[in-house]
Amino acid sequence: MTINPSRPDQLKIAIVAGEKSGDDLGGPLMASLNKLHTDISFIGVGGNKMSDEGLSSFFSLERIAVMGIIEPLLKLRELLSLRRKLNNFLLKEKPDIFIGIDSPDFNLPIAKFLKKELGIKTVQYVSPSVWAWRKGRIKSMENSIDTVITLFPFEGDVYKESKVNTCYVGHPLAYKLNGDINKKESEGENIDIALLPGSRRSEIVMLADEMIKAAKVLKEKNSNYKFHMPLSDKNHLSLIKESLNEVIEISFNNSQEILSKCKMAVITSGTATLEALLLRTPCVTVYKTNWLSYKIIKPLLRIDYFSLPNLLYGGVLTPELLQDDVTSKNIIEGINSIEKKGLDYFVNEFDKIHSTLKAGGSETAAKEVYDLLN
C-alpha cells in the first residue's frame, strides 16, 4: 500500500462514477469506508451524494454520463480528452486504490492505466454486462481488475473460470423498497396499471405511444382499468404523439409511489423493473432501441431473457417484449397473462427473490475494498 509520507495513516482512494446511479452507490460506499478508517482522502469524479461524503469532483459527472452505443461515439473526442486528463491527475496524486463505479467503458481503461503505472489494487463496482454480451472482455479485465463487486447473484458465475475475484453485495434498493406482500386483486375495484416509458427521451419516443394505445383498448373493454404514467420531466410530455384522452393520469417524479399502489405495470427495461419486483408489482417489460444499435447488439447477445425479474428468477416469470415485438397488441396480451396467473403467484415469487438481494450492501463492499488495502 502506498502511504502518504506526510500523513502515514491517511488513505487516498480514487473513485469514479460515470452517472447518477453510480453516485447513488458511491455515496454510501464512501460513508461505509469512512467508518472503517478515520482518515481517507477521496479523489476522482462523482455527484452530489459522493460530494457529501468528502469527494471534490475533478469534473462534473454529467460530462461523462452517456448511454448506449451511438451516444458515446458522438461524444468520443470529449470523453477521451476527459479520461486522459483524469488519468494524468490520478497518476500525479498516486492513490492507494482505484474504484470504478459502473460505466465500464470509461472506468476499465483507467483501472488498466493505474495498475500499469502505479501497481495499485483496482475495483470495479457493478459488473459489466459480460453475462449478457462481450464475454471476451473478462480476459482483458484479468490484467486490470482485482475485484468486481456485483449487485446480482447470477453475475458471479461468469467469472468463475477467470482470475478476477468477485464479491456479491446485493442491491441497495432491496433495503429501501418493501412492497405489500398482501397485495391482492379485489373484485369490483379499479385495476390500477402503471405505464413507465423510461427516463430518456429516446425511450419515451420509442415506447410511450404503444403503451398508451394498449391502455385505450383495455379501457374500452373494461372501465375498471385505471392507467398512471409517471414521467421524470415535464418536457417529456411533448415527446408523446398519441392523445391521452383522459385515459392516462400523468404525474412527475413519483414512479415508486405509483408502482407501489398499482396492481400491474408496463415498464421500459431497466432499474424500474427491479423496483416493480421489490414493490410486488408484476410487469410487462419492454425495450426498443434505434435499428442501428439493435443490429449491432443482437448478434452479440448471450442471454435468453433481458428483464431483471426473469434474470433473477432464472426463467420466464413475467412477460417481456423486445424491439419489433413491442406492439400495443402484445402489451395487452402480456397484461392478460399476468391477470390469468393472479397477483398471489407473483407476490410469492417476488418475495423469494427479494430476500436473495440483501447481502450486506455498501458495508460488505467497503470491507472488501478495505481488505484489498491490507
**What does DSSP assign to residue 299?**
G
- Band of pLDDT at residue 3, cut at 50, 70 and 90: very low
Whether residue 285 contacts residue 273, with contact meaning beta carbons closer than 8 Å, is answered with yes
Asked if residue 5 has pLDDT above 50, the reply is no
The pTM of the full predicted model, rounded to 2 decimals, is 0.81
- Band of pLDDT at residue 2, cut at 50, 70 and 90: very low
Q: Find the mean pLDDT for residues 85-113.
A: 94
- Band of pLDDT at residue 68, cut at 50, 70 and 90: low
Asked if residue 67 has pLDDT above 70, the reply is no
Question: Could you tell me the domains of the chain?
Answer: 11-170+359-373 (3.40.50.2000), 191-356 (3.40.50.2000)
pLDDT at 308: 92
**121, β-bridge pairs:** 97
Q: What are the Cα distances from residue 190, in Å, to 21, 186, 194, 222, 224?
A: 34, 8, 13, 10, 5
- Give the DSSP per-residue string, 91-142: HHH--SEEEEES-HHHHHHHHHHHHHHH--EEEEES--STTTS-TTHHHHHT
Asked if residue 81 has pLDDT above 80, the reply is yes
In tens, the pLDDT along 135-192 reads 667 888 898 999 999 999 988 888 888 889 999 999 999 999 987 656 655 555 789 9
Q: Where is pLDDT greater, at 289 or 335?
A: 335
Region of 248 please: left (phi>0), alpha (psi -120 to 50) or beta.
Answer: beta
Cell of 259: 408502482
Asked if residue 262 has pLDDT above 60, the reply is yes
Q: Where is pLDDT greater, at 24 or 60?
A: 24
The mean of the pLDDT values for the chain is: 88
Helix (H, G, I), strand (E, B) or coil at 222: coil
In tens, the pLDDT along 223-254 reads 999 999 999 889 999 999 888 878 999 999 99
Contacts of 110 (CB under 8 A, 6+ apart): 16, 83, 86, 87, 90, 98, 100
CA neighbours within 13 Å on the CB side: how many for 247? 21
